[in-house]
Amino acid sequence: MRGLLLKDWLVVIKQTKVYFVLMFVFALIPGMGVYSIFFGALLPMTAFAYDERSRWGQMAEMMPYSPRKVVEEKYMFGYLMAGGISVLEAVIQILYYLAGAGQGGLAENMAVILVSVMMALNVMALQMPVIFRIGVEKSRIFLMFVTISVMMALQSFFSRSVFETTVVLPEWSSFMLPGILVVTLVIQLLSRMLSVKFCTDKKK
């Protein structure tokens, strides 16, 4: 799997340098870190797109990679990218807090990051089976609709319920975080099972 991860990383970092710059800029802007985390979770789709253009899938069929291994690598790549951006965003929020800048309290911002990364991974999980079934190009409109809809809804919720009201962290996160975590784990499991099935069917 490390070889596949390295392949995707080298492709993405070479072809989408501007993408990484945008993620860093969004991470620096108070209240915009949600978008940065979502961008990180969408990087596997970018890797998918370049795989399709280069017909890498045909080459992969001649290599000792099982469908499950191919699927697990794409999910792992998304986890690493979204997780890495989340850590960067957390460090930035801590620095803002120490400097007396930023938006909202430190605890609220840490909760926002946790919710954001879980929701970003859920969006990725909704998209992955579709991509493995029909490819990136054919599913582009669906991918854009799901991503934009969830990002806007999440940003609106955080703006109204966390940063622009008197709601404090325990009042919303004590029940929300565990619930979202459970839902996320279930969605990830079902998504990976579907993706493995679709990937296997394609190779038959």
Tokens in use for 80?
Answer: 């690493």
- Alpha-carbon distance of 145 to 114, in angstroms, equals 23
CA-to-CA dists, residue 20 to 16, 23, 167, 179, angstroms: 7, 5, 33, 31
Segments in the chain below pLDDT 70: 57-58, 60-61, 102-104, 151, 154-175, 203-204
SS (H, E, C) 96-119: HHHHCCCCCCHHHHHHHHHHHHHH
Burial label for 57, CB within 10 Å (0-12, 13-18, 19+), is middle
Q: What is the CA radius of gyration of the chain?
A: 18
Average per-residue pLDDT for the chain? 78
**Of 16, 58, 37, whose CA–CA distance to 158 is shortest?**
37
Count of H-run helices and E-run strands, the chain: 9, 0
| Domains of the chain: total | 1
Give the range of the structural domain holding residue 28, as residue numbers without chain letter.
2-203
pLDDT at 37: 85
pLDDT digits (tens, 9 = 90+) for 8-54: 888 788 777 777 888 888 888 777 777 888 888 888 888 888 877 77
Tokens in use for 57?
Answer: 């899938």
- Alpha-carbon distance of 77 to 85, in angstroms, equals 12
Longest pairwise C-alpha distance within the chain: 59
Kindly report the pTM of this predicted structure.
0.81
pLDDT at 44: 84
pLDDT at 192: 93
Tokens in use for 66?
Answer: 């099982």
Tokens in use for 23?
Answer: 């993620």
